[in-house]
Amino acid sequence: MKPIAYARPTTLEQAVTTVTARPRTVFLAGGTTLVDMLRIGAMEPDNVVDITWLPLGGLEHTPGGGLRIGALAKMSEVAAEPGVRERYPFLSVALWKGASAQLRNMATMGGNLMQKVRCAYFREPGTACNKREPGSGCAALDGIHRGHAILGTSPQCFATHPSDVAIPLVALDVTVTVWGPRGERTIGFDDFFLLPGETPHLEHPIAEDELITRIDVPPLPFARNSHYLKVRDRESYEFALTSAAVAMNVADGTVVDVRIGLGGVATKPWRARTAESLLIGKSATPATFAKAAAAELEAADTSHPMNAFKVRLAQRTMVRALEAVRPQVNPLDGTR
């Protein structure tokens, strides 16, 4: 047994002071990832700061139709909120598909963004993992890597980011606000996740004494027409092989605007900007969708034999998701 100090602050200031005063300290929110890491020895902090009593929960609607989500808001709470289901359906669906009911009732929105990868080698302390122990190597390169990433990879790490809800969030251009001893700052969602590069152990651009306070979702009216598609080995409680979160605005058969996030294929929540740029101004047809999807996956790393199938699977996932939000024409009278 490893002794661990435990603290439960009631203010942000107390939480940050506790972390600053003690080295090797981690924050505990819902605990659905951290407790697992402690049990298997993949993380060995000396101190745990329980932030569940901090006033960081709740969800509110902002002027213009946006959302402000507290970092400690539960996944189940956000998924069930009527305004989320109506105006951001792909966000609600991604949360429902992201975990079991028990985990959704415990896991927090901020904790979901900070969760650790599900790579088996990261979670096995007896194997080489540059993310867990920098410079030790990557056992997945010559091991089992069927579920690993094909986008945003590096020779140091190609573990897939596991979050479901992060995929519609990256498509929505949300911002993450963090607070620490140097004050408050806001980080764009795409910048909140770092590519592995030469430093896979650095996953976020925040310091150990900073914590997430809220997630701001900007208004996006056409997000009402959105869809989240998750492809996995089994329907219940499984991580994505590929996933796509799409929202699209179509007028007279032409794509006016579109947002696409990809999951299960990258080392961070992936914004499909290449596909988006190719779709805007084009006809909303399956052939156009297929061309855009192929262009997005041109940069995929197919050097690893077990996960190369994800290229075609990701393309098909994106196309199917786009087809789900494409206005359907009635062949009898031409109405939509």
Per-residue pLDDT at 331 exceeds 50: no
Least confident of 32-41, 70-79, 125-134: 32-41
Per-residue pLDDT at 33 exceeds 90: no
**HEC profile of the chain:** CCCCEEECCCCHHHHHHHHHHCCCEEEECCCCCHHHHHHHCCCCCCEEEECCCCCCCCEEEECCCEEEEECCCEHHHHHHCHHHHHHCHHHHHHHHCCCCHHHHHHCEHHHHHCCCCCCCCCCCCCCCECCCCCCCCEHHHCCCCCCCCCECCECCECCCCCCCCHHHHHHCCCEEEEEECCEEEEEEHHHHCCCCCCCCCCCCCCCCCCEEEEEEECCCHHHHCEEEEEECCCCCCCCCCEEEEEEEEEECCEEEEEEEEEECCECCCEECHHHHHHHCCCECCHHHHHHHHHHHHHHCCCCCCCCCCHHHHHHHHHHHHHHHHCCCCCCCCCCC
Quote the tokens at residue 307: 């996960």
Q: What pTM value is reported for the model?
A: 0.94
Whole-number pLDDT of residue 333 = 47
> pLDDT class for 20, splitting at 50, 70, 90?
confident
Q: What angle do CA 60, 63, 66 make, to 5 degrees?
A: 60
Per-residue pLDDT at 322 exceeds 90: yes
pLDDT digits over 146-174, tens only? 999 999 999 999 999 999 999 999 999 99
pLDDT digits over 261-274, tens only? 999 999 999 999 99
Per-residue pLDDT at 329 exceeds 70: no
Which one is predicted more confidently, 77 or 336? 77
Per-residue pLDDT at 288 exceeds 80: yes
Per-residue pLDDT at 54 exceeds 60: yes
> pLDDT class for 24, splitting at 50, 70, 90?
confident
pLDDT digits over 201-244, tens only? 999 999 988 999 999 999 999 999 999 999 999 888 789 999 99
Whole-number pLDDT of residue 332 = 45
How does the average pLDDT of the chain come out, rounded? 93
The predicted model gives 6-19 an average pLDDT of 90
